Structure 1
Amino acid sequence: MDTNSKAKTRKVALRSKVMTRRRLIQGGGIVKLNTDAVTAILQPIYNTLPSTKANGDHNLTYGEIEWSTLKYIVELSSKQQFTGNTPGKFYDLGCGRGRAVLYAALSGPFDQSVGIEILPERIALAQQALLKLKQSIPTAGAKVKLLETSFLNPALKYKDARAVFFSNLCIDDQTSMALFNKLNAEMQKGSLLFCSKAPSTKLVSFELLSVERMPMTWTPSSEFHVFRHL
């Protein structure tokens, strides 16, 4: 990015933050922002946030979803007909530093944005990002929930999900299928599932809407599957 582009991005971020503060003061609560404004607010936070590598039993490759891909998720989730009695929740399963969770909370059609991460060092960074966001927008965390646990935890039920994102590129097939089967049984009609790899066995309650090529931090074009629950 050249100097002029960086300066323009900083100006957009500052203008978005000022406008958001004014809306919060006038309206007394959190507002839904457009996706470009959310990117301008969150990008500086994540540019300064430490990255992390997990060791030991969880020696996993770590990358993140790009902002334009998050925009695609939010916009498609807003357009798709959802049959739930509430707006429904966004779930990021293996949320890492929480960028998708914060993005969906600020711009998405969801009543809550939930990040689930089993690694304590990563959930700590997600909490750190949320804290930095709340310093600029005090009520920004009202719709955010971060959980340090396994996404296969039996106590977790995904009946209230409107959209689920599961980056399973580096997850073994047994774990992936266990989660796919859980989502197959628990998600509601009309809810969306976004994942890096398709399940190895067909799921009777999901239809494949599309296979896209979307940018991730490790590549400009990664396979991206979109399913809808029937």
Structure 2
Amino acid sequence: SLLKFMSACSIWRQVFGTESLRRLVSLGSPHAQQQSPLFRWHPSRRLSLSTRYLSSGRKYDGLWGDAAESRSWHSFVKQSRDAERTIASVYQGLDNGHWIPEEEALVVRESGGSEVYGELSPASAVWLMRELGIGKHDTFFDLGCGTGKLLIIAALVTEVTKAVGLELSASRVRVAREALQRTGLESRCSVLSEDFLTSLRIEEATVCFCASTALSDSVVDNLTRRLASFPRLRLWVTLKAPSATALEHFEAAGTLELDTSWSRGTAVRMYRPKQY
């Protein structure tokens, strides 16, 4: 109805601003729909998600869906804004982790990894946590966690009781641990200076995430093969797609397009063990 549309526009303008609302309306035009397969992006500075089929197997239309979806969208917006403010406050004065000493970079490279740093935006991290359905019985691992922002957001927006980050850069580990201490989330979150290809702790994971864009194909494949043997694993989430042979024991569980520190609409691929 017209009233519902006007109400939705008012809410959008309050949250994201007038210019964002103008872009949203223009993206809904037939011409825009023909020009871009991602015309239903939520066009804010914080987020640009397409409405491809997600892990739930349906499209998400946000404000334009039924009442339950509308409430879910409002909840997401609030969580995203809260997460963004929390991250900005917690990491104030801390190193951003983008540059590390050469001796640390050498350790990372010798393990087959990459010292190149990147992360999901806070809003995208919130969206990912909601899509993964992480609960109190899950053990979440961020492989190559950097300064630990995703761990903090996981603890803020889910009931996860154990979120663990693995990171080889000593300076990034120090920043992550300082951030966790500032938040008081140390009972639920921890950061270990371990290699994810050899760590024993990772075997307890139920959900594993890796921002693997800068990793070599062989490292991603070896990690995927290793994860296939974990008895509790239910989801493997990676930015770089493993090879078909490495995915022998997995099946596709969905794809998201999320904002990262280096790109809008980065593909985030989810896989489920076939025996799960």
Per-residue deviation, 1:66: 1.1
Alignment equivalent of 2:125, drawn from 63, 66, 70: 70
Q: Is 2:161 aligned against 1:118?
A: no
Q: Structure 1 residues 177, 76: closer, same or farther in 2, change over 3 A?
A: same
- For 1:200, the equivalent position in structure 2 comes to 243
Identity of aligned residues (%): 21
Q: Is 2:193 aligned against 1:148?
A: yes
Conserved in 1, the CA contact under 8 Å of 2:209 and 2:236?
yes
Q: Structure 1 residues 177, 187: closer, same or farther in 2, change over 3 A?
A: farther
Alignment equivalent of 1:164, drawn from 183, 193, 208: 208
Structure 2 gaps of 5+ residues are 1-13, 16-77, 109-113
Structure 1 gaps of 5+ residues are 6-33, 135-139
- Listed as ranges, the matches of 1:10-25 within 5 Å are none
- For 1:215, the equivalent position in structure 2 comes to 259
Q: Structure 1 residues 187, 68: closer, same or farther in 2, change over 3 A?
A: farther
Q: Secondary structure at the match of 2:201?
A: coil
2:130 maps to amino acid: E
Distance 2:219 2:124 in 1: 24
Q: Hey, which bits of structure 1, 4+ residues long, moved more than 6 A?
A: none
- For 2:87, the equivalent position in structure 1 comes to 42
Q: With structure 1 as the length reference, what TM-score do the two structures score?
A: 0.73
2:116 maps to amino acid: T
Q: Secondary structure at the match of 2:215?
A: coil
1:76 maps to amino acid: E
Q: Structure 1 residues 175, 194: closer, same or farther in 2, change over 3 A?
A: same
Across the two proteins, how many residue pairs are aligned to each other?
188
Structure (1/2) with the larger strand percentage: 1
Distance 2:226 2:243 in 1: 15
- Listed as ranges, the matches of 1:86-105 within 5 Å are 87-105=137-155
Calculate the aligned-residue CA RMSD, in Å.
Answer: 2.5
Conserved in 2, the CA contact under 8 Å of 1:39 and 1:103?
no
Distance 2:88 2:253 in 1: 29
Per-residue deviation, 1:154: 4.7
Q: Structure 1 residues 187, 38: closer, same or farther in 2, change over 3 A?
A: farther
Alignment equivalent of 1:131, drawn from 141, 163, 181: 181
Conserved in 2, the CA contact under 8 Å of 1:101 and 1:113?
yes
Distance 1:210 1:73 in 2: 12
Q: With structure 2 as the length reference, what TM-score do the two structures score?
A: 0.61
